[in-house]
Structure 1
Amino acid sequence: MIYADVPLTEDIRAAVAAEWGYKGDGERLFGGEESAAYRLGDVVVRIGALNRDPATVEWCNGIAVAAARTVPEAVAPLHRANGETVAMVAGRPITVWPLVEGQWASIEDPIQMAEAARLLARLHRALADHRPPPRPEPSFLAIGLDGAPSAELPDPELDRWLAEFTGSARVHPLHGDYYEGNLLARGGHVIAALDWDEALVAPPEVELASAALEFADVSGADLTGARWFVDEYHAEGGTADRLDDIALVQLMRHRLRREAVYFGIAVARGVQHDEDDLAYHRQRMDTFRLLRP
């Protein structure tokens, strides 16, 4: 994976010192295709994507704050003196977060997988009654849920199914990008949910299927692992309704199709993918076809 070269500039350090009161040079943390995170003492400074709408970042941060009120693993941003959580520096949104020590959660560990499913259920319960204003810009996962056709991996039957499903589904805020890279573990247990940049309001079944795809590492038509993840979620009382196999695979395919769109955008932006990235992309596109009902 190629990560963006986004420096912690003097201007950003000055803004963090003035708005949040934290000073230092910073240590680059792992990850970030369009953004970057730096450790600054006991906080993390996140430098968002260039020209990202600050109102959208603020909206997403509000979802994290709402979840953190009752779910201790939900990491919420720190507020500035004016009550906001975002400062813009040279066209990039700057946010500051509590530092949580840990590593990415492991999909190879059944204990962590079960904890991830149960944490998702608790996050959904925490957000079920939260009613934010409309998101200023659509999220990655929301586009196409209404059945609008996609130029990437066109599938009219999937479009019709999504339109029918979402037309009657109940909605509430969701994390939006729930996978192992946005969870931290320590001592073999999941301890934190990070990165709320793709938060959205949508049917919880959409996120449950997407998470099952990720944590079960679905790469063909075998749904055994995904079903296990879904069962763990429901055992914890998640808000999503039970999904039959058709609903599960169609919502997974929606996620995979959105990934294809994102891949194309990244290529157009000049991102150079290595061989591992390209092989992973091909495998995901094969899974889209293999899961077709």
Structure 2
Amino acid sequence: MVYTDIALTEDILDVVAAEWGYRGVGERLHGGEESAAYRLGEVVVRIGSPERDSAEIEWCNGIAAAAAGSVPEVLAPLPRADGSTVTVVAGHPITVWPPARGQWADGEDPTQFAEAAGLLARLHRALATYRPPPRPARSFLEIGLDGTPSAHLPDPDLDRWLAEFTRSTRHQPLHGDYYAGNLLCHNGHITTVLDWDEALIGPPELELASAALEFTDEIRGDLIRVRAFVAAYHAAGGTAGELDDFAVRQLIRHRLRREAAYFDIAVARGIEHDEDDHEYHRERLAAFHRFKP
């Protein structure tokens, strides 16, 4: 896994002190493919990618704040004096968050598997009636949902199906990148959901299918554990409608195709991947074809 190398500079420390009122010595926290997080005393400072517009981050933070109102696992960004949550230093969007302890969730653990499905259901219920303004820029998962042909893993049948599915389903705010790396667990239980940078407005079925893949890792193409995750989500009262196997496969393939595009974009930007990353990428490409209904 490639993690970005972004320094917590004196300029950033000065801005955090001036605009949020926190000072201290930064400690780099684990993770971050395009952003870096540092523990700074009582808070966490997150330094985003210069590719992210501050208005986009502000919009995503608003989704997180809305969810935090009724879902205790969600952390809300800390506001500045003017109520906004983002400032920019040397092109990097800077945000400040409450701290959270724990390690990444484990989809192989039966308790956390069930909790992840239940938490997703509660997130969807919490956000079902929230009506934010349009997202300033499309999230990576949103691209292609309208049926626009993709240069990555082209599939006209998938494009047509996505266009019809998207037109015929209800849309709501979604986390957008719900997987084990964005959940923290402590003492064997999921306690925190992080990283709302890919939040979007879309069909909850899209996120359910995507999360089911992530928490089962069934890239071979069978759906036994995927169905179990979907069933646990529905049992917890999630807002997504019932999904047959055909729809699950097509929505998973959309996710896999967007991942392929993201990988190529990262390579074009000069990010170097190790052999494990390339092997993971090859497996996901193969899964795109394997899942074809």
Q: TM-score range by the shorter chain?
A: over 0.9
The aligned residue for residue 112 of structure 1 is: 112
**2:121, 2:58 → 1: CA distance?**
24
The 2-side partners of 1:7 and 1:25 are apart by: 13
Contact 1:175/1:198 (CA < 8 Å) preserved in 2? Answer: yes
Q: Report if aligned partners of 2:108, 2:216 keep a CA contact under 8 Å in 1.
A: no
- 1:138-187 CA-to-partner distances (Å, cap 9, x unmatched) read 00100000010000000000001001100111000000000000000000
In the alignment, the residues of structure 2 paired with residue 51 and residue 223 of structure 1 have an alpha-carbon distance, to the nearest angstrom, of 36
Q: Distance in 1 between matches of 2:240 and 2:218?
A: 20
2:133 is aligned to 133
> Partner residue of 1:192?
192
- Note the C-alpha offset of 1:198: 0.3
Give the match for residue 218 of structure 1: 218
Pair 1:9 & 2:9 matched: yes
Q: Is the 8 A contact 2:25 2:41 kept in 1?
A: no
Question: Contact between 1:2 and 1:274, CA under 8 Å: does it hold in 2?
Answer: yes
Aligned partners of 2:51, 2:241: CA distance in 1, in Å?
A: 37
Which residue identity does 1:233 align to in structure 2?
A: Y
Distance, in Å, in 2 between the alignment partners of 1:284 and 1:203 is 23
Counterpart for residue 59 of structure 1: 59
Give the TM-score, by structure 1 length. Answer: 0.99
SS at match of 1:254: helix
Deviation at 1:51, TM superposition (A): 4.1
Counterparts of 1:32-43 in structure 2, within 5 Å, are 32-43=32-43
Indicate conservation of the 8 Å contact 1:173/1:200, yes or no. yes
Letter in 1 for 2:222: D
1:32: how far off?
Answer: 1.5
How far apart are the structure 2 equivalents of 1:33 and 1:179? 14
State the Cα distance separating 1:104 from its structure 2 match: 0.5
Residue 5 of structure 1 aligns with an amino acid whose one-letter code is D
Partner of 1:46: 46
Secondary structure (helix, strand or coil) at the match of 1:190 reads strand
* Structure 2 CA distance for aligned equivalents of residues 52 and 219 of structure 1: 30
Give the equivalent residue in structure 2 for 1:286. 286
Q: CA RMSD in A?
A: 0.7
Query: Could you tell me which residue of structure 2 aligns to residue 266 of structure 1?
Result: 266
Opposite residue 151 of structure 1, the aligned amino acid is A
* TM-score normalized by the length of structure 2: 0.99
Amino acid at match of 1:181: G
Gaps of 5+ in 2: none
| Contact 1:45–1:94 under 8 Å retained in 2 | yes
The whole-number CA distance in structure 2 between the counterparts of 1:33 and 1:233 is 28
Give, in whole Å, the separation in 2 of the partners of 1:247 and 1:286: 19
- Report the residue type matching 2:144 in the other structure: G
Partner residue in 1 for 2:232: 232
Partners of 1:220 and 1:161 lie apart in 2 by: 22
Amino acid at match of 1:285: L
Quote how far apart the aligned CAs of 1:2 are: 2.2
- Partner Cα distance (1:217, 1:41) in 2: 36
* 1:148-187 correspondence to structure 2 within 5 Å: 148-187=148-187
What amino acid is the match of 2:260? A
Give the ranges of 4+ consecutive aligned residues of structure 1 lying more than 6 Å apart after TM superposition. Answer: none
- Does the CA contact (< 8 Å) of 2:11 and 2:89 recur in 1? yes
* 1:30-89 alpha-carbon deviations (Å, 9 max, x no partner): 112221000011211000001421111000000000000000001110001110000111
Instruction: Please tell me whether the aligned partners of residues 37 and 44 of structure 2 are also in contact (alpha carbons under 8 angstroms).
Output: yes
Q: CA deviation at 1:218?
A: 1.5
Q: What is aligned with 1:205?
A: 205
SS at match of 1:45: strand
1:93 corresponds in structure 2 to 93
CA distance in 1, matches of 2:133, 2:60: 11
Query: Could you say which residue in structure 2 is the equivalent of 1:103?
Result: 103
Classify the secondary structure of the residue corresponding to 2:93: strand
**In the aligned structure 2, how far is the partner of 1:121 from the partner of 1:2?**
30
Aligned length: 293
CA contact (8 A) 1:52 1:91 kept: no
Secondary structure of the structure 2 residue equivalent to 1:46: strand
Is the partner of 1:267 in helix, strand or coil?
A: helix
Aligned-partner SS, 2:82:
coil
The Cα offsets for residues 180-216 of structure 1, whole Å up to 9 and x where unpaired, read as 0000000000001100000000000000000001001
